[in-house]
Amino acid sequence: MAKVLITDGVHQLLITGLEDRNYEVDYQPNIKLDEVHAIISDYEGIIINTKTVIDRSLLDKATQLKFIGRLGSGLEIIDLEYTQEKGIYCFNTPEGNRNAVAEHALGLILNLFNNINISANEVASAVWNREENRGEELEGKTVGIIGYGNTGQSFAKKLRGFDVEVLGYDKFKSNFGNEFVKEVQLEDIYKKADVLSLHLPLTDDTFNWLDEVRINRFEKDFYLINTSRGKVLKQADLLKYLQKSKILGAGLDVLENEKLATFDKAEKYVFEGLNSLKNVIITPHIAGWTHQSKLKIAQVILDNIDRHNVEETL
């Protein structure tokens, strides 16, 4: 019986579903990376999240491995070129958490515009500030979406009822304009955006994509939302332009380095600077982390395995 290793927490549906498909499931959500290296040779499949990096050294030990399933969307933790050489089937599950990410992105915008965190914390301290917390309305604003994949598309749909103009840009897509989004070039977003939402994968092309140079190309002061990958944004430049009020506020669900205990001096300075600003909200990479998305991701994993098995038999 083929064995599958699961290295992170998953919905029971996935475990049961794999067993129903005649896989022996080894569920180890707390396993460490060095432990994965020690046992990976026993498995035909592995289901991973961000903590399990599938690099060349691990793949060389994975002598039986046939598939890698990624819980979520980011494939930068997998050496895709080497897996292709080895004929290992790799897939991610952005369909499973795209709705959750889109809802979280919208929540960050509404929170920033209406000073929800700020005012709630003030009231908790017995401070009742109304005029100081007068908010902004989203209606009439222009929202620019960079990256129009699963989450970008879902986010555009969420904005439909807010009477905003939604502009979308994707380097690798065209002809995607519809009732939810107007397809544009980057220059149009630089010119018109009041809100910028990043929905980019992490690649060599997108590393530090939003930096000082691009920030200065925006004609308006703007709000920034990033629910994609921390390293697509240069945080030191973000802090600089928040302090200059070129960026009016930021909602971040991801950071360049999410292992807070490992910060060097420069990272600590930027992190503390961001957290000192009232117009910054940082959440711990939970945009796609809902009870519903956990179930949906499990089903998408099973669907991918079924599809691949059918293709192999044709």
Taking the C-alpha atoms of residue 263 and residue 266, their distance in angstroms, rounded to an integer, is: 8
Question: Is residue 309 very low, low, confident or very high in pLDDT (cuts 50, 70, 90)?
Answer: confident
Q: Are residues 219 and 244 in the same domain?
A: yes
Give 76-111 pLDDT, tens digit per residue: 999 999 999 999 999 999 999 999 999 999 999 999
Q: What is the pLDDT of residue 308?
A: 86
Shared domain for 112 and 188, answered yes or no, is yes
Q: Is the pLDDT of residue 313 over 70?
A: no
- Are 139 and 185 members of one domain? yes
Do 113 and 73 share a structural domain? no
DSSP string across 239-296: HHHHHTTSEEEEEES--S---GGG--HHHHHHHHHHHT-TTEEE--S-TT--HHHHHH
On whether both 276 and 295 belong to a single domain, the answer is: no
Neighbours of 290 (CB within 10 A): 16
CA distance 259 to 267: 11
Task: Assess whether 154 and 188 both reside in one domain.
Answer: yes
Whether residue 178 is predicted with pLDDT greater than 60 in this model: the reply is yes
- Return the pLDDT at 1: 87
Q: Is the pLDDT of residue 287 over 60?
A: yes
pLDDT score for 73: 87
What's the whole-model pTM score? 0.94
**230 shares a domain with 119:** yes
State phi, psi for 145 to the nearest 5 degrees. Answer: -110, 120
pLDDT of residue 233: 98
Domain of residue 118, CATH code = 3.40.50.720
Enumerate the β-bridge partners of residue 4.
25, 45
Same domain, 85 and 104: no
Distance, in Å, from the CA atom of 18 to the CA atom of 158, rounded to the nearest integer, reads 33
Domain extent for 74: 3-92+291-313
Per-residue pLDDT at 314: 52
Dihedral sign, Cα of residue 40, residue 45, residue 51, residue 57 = positive
Q: C-alpha dihedral over 305, 306, 311, 314, to 10 degrees?
A: 140
Average pLDDT of the residues in 52-60: 96
Looking at the structure, do residues 34 and 182 belong to the same domain, yes or no? no
Write the pLDDT tens digit of every residue in 184-209: 999 999 999 999 999 999 999 999 99
d(CA 166, CA 180): 7
| Mean pLDDT, range 51-71, rounded to an integer | 96
* Position 310 pLDDT exceeds 80: no
- Looking at the fold, whether 120 and 243 belong to one and the same domain comes out as yes
Could you read off the pLDDT of 4-42 as tens digits, one per residue?
Answer: 999 999 999 999 999 999 999 999 999 999 999 999 999
Pairing mode, if any, of strands 247-252 and 142-146?
Answer: unpaired
Distance of CA 111 to the CA centre of its chain: 19
Rg (CA), the chain: 21
Judge if 112 and 227 occupy the same domain. yes
Confidence at 295, pLDDT banded by 50, 70, 90:
very high
Residue 305 has pLDDT above 90, yes or no: yes
Mean confidence (pLDDT) of the chain:
96
Tell me what pLDDT residue 174 has: 94
Q: For 146-160, give one letter per residue: b (16+ CB within 10 A) or e.
A: bbbbbbbbbbbbbbe
Split into its structural domains, the chain has a count of 2
Q: Are residues 245 and 221 in the same domain?
A: yes
